[in-house]
Amino acid sequence: MTIMGLSKEFQNSSFWAKEASSSKYKLLQEEQTSSSTSLPLHKHKENIHTLTIISTAASTFSKIWILHMILFMISGAVLLYSILKLPSKSYCIEKLSPYSPGLHIFQDVDKVYRFDVGYNSHSSFRGPPSPERDAVWDRITHVGAMSISEETRQKINASDGSVRLPKESGGGFMAMTEFVHEMHCIDRLWKHTYPDYYMYEYNHTIESPEDWHEHADHCAEILRQKVMCNADITVVTYNWLKNHESPHPNFNSQHKCRDFDAALEWAIANQAPPPKEGKVYRPTDGTHYFEYDDLPFDPRKLS
């Protein structure tokens, strides 16, 4: 029993020794585990802190980027709106001109022309009269009337009592372009400076001086009003010329002009067919019309 007890005690002490050794091993293992886990935890906290900083920075950068994109889009929208709102050439022409059904022909109003009016310059309109010169003037002054609609008549604020063309000539209101009349006036005044060549003009001044002066005054007044209406403020400089004591204005100045050839082509293309009788007469078929003592200044005036 004793031996057995000793044996048991021995066995027990051996057991406890093993158990103690195991405990020490477990304790050491726990310390190592604790030590090994405490270092990664510290690093983990640092990583979390670093990630937080990065996340915050990324969030801030994202907000700034979004703000920049919004500002960029707003700027782009404002720029696009400004471009779309820029007045077109046609808008500028319409804004600076009274209504005409032919305004659309003027697409280029930015072309610069330099007048050529030197003493030695040449022009098909300039110089002594000749059949060739007459043909050039006739081309721009002998343009027939056109027929305009009631809508156009109202848009140009013309007289309610305007003359109507016969049906074979369009049946609309009889009209013409202003530049044709102005060219006619210039042509007429120019011809009066050559009475030996244009005898019929000269004879008119002798036979009907009052009528001639009335026509001349009318043309001069039309051209005066036209020049004052345009009020051209183009600056003209001066040059010294041989055999001239004083500085001479240089009228070879730059101008922005409409396309006259396009205007002439439009006027010719829109001529109304000539009436059967060759000219327009007062209606004799009972059609009502208005007569005036003088050209009506008030478009609504009917008598």
DSSP of 107-164? -----EEE----TT---TTSSS--HHHHHHHHHHH----EEE-HHHHHHTT--TTPPB
If one counts the domains in the chain, the total is 2
Pairing state between β 237-239 and 173-175: unpaired
Higher pLDDT, 24 or 81: 81
Domain end position, chosen among 38, 66, 86: 86
In a domain, 16, yes or no: no
User: 112: which strand partners?
Assistant: 256
Across the chain, what does the average pLDDT equal?
82
Are 261 and 170 in the same domain? yes
Are 242 and 159 in the same domain? yes
In a domain, 207, yes or no: yes
In a domain, 72, yes or no: yes
In a domain, 206, yes or no: yes
pLDDT tens-digit profile of 17-35? Answer: 444 444 444 444 444 444 4
Give the pLDDT of residue 41. 52
Give the pLDDT of residue 224. 98
Instruction: Give the span between the Cα atoms of 148 and 176, in whole angstroms.
Output: 9
Q: Is residue 165 within 8 Å of residue 276, measured between CB atoms?
A: no
In a domain, 117, yes or no: yes
Are 131 and 63 in the same domain? no
18-22, 68-72, 186-190: least confident range: 18-22
Domain end position, chosen among 86, 102, 134: 86
In a domain, 257, yes or no: yes
Are 118 and 260 in the same domain? yes
Kindly state the tokens that stand for 267.
């006027």
Are 144 and 165 in the same domain? yes
Are 59 and 194 in the same domain? no
Average pLDDT over residues 46-60: 60
Average pLDDT over residues 240-250: 95
Give the pLDDT of residue 8. 45
Residue 44: pLDDT band with limits 50, 70, 90: low
Asked if residue 43 has pLDDT above 50, the reply is yes
Residue 170: pLDDT band with limits 50, 70, 90: very high
pLDDT tens-digit profile of 84-143? Answer: 666 677 777 878 889 999 998 887 666 789 999 998 888 999 999 999 999 999 999 999
Q: Is residue 267 within 8 Å of residue 144, measured between CB atoms?
A: no
Are 120 and 149 in the same domain? yes
Residues of the chain with pLDDT > 90: what percent? 53
In a domain, 296, yes or no: no
In a domain, 9, yes or no: no
What is the model's pTM? 0.70
Which residue range is the domain that position 124 belongs to?
A: 90-269
Are 72 and 100 in the same domain? no
Are 253 and 115 in the same domain? yes
Are 130 and 208 in the same domain? yes
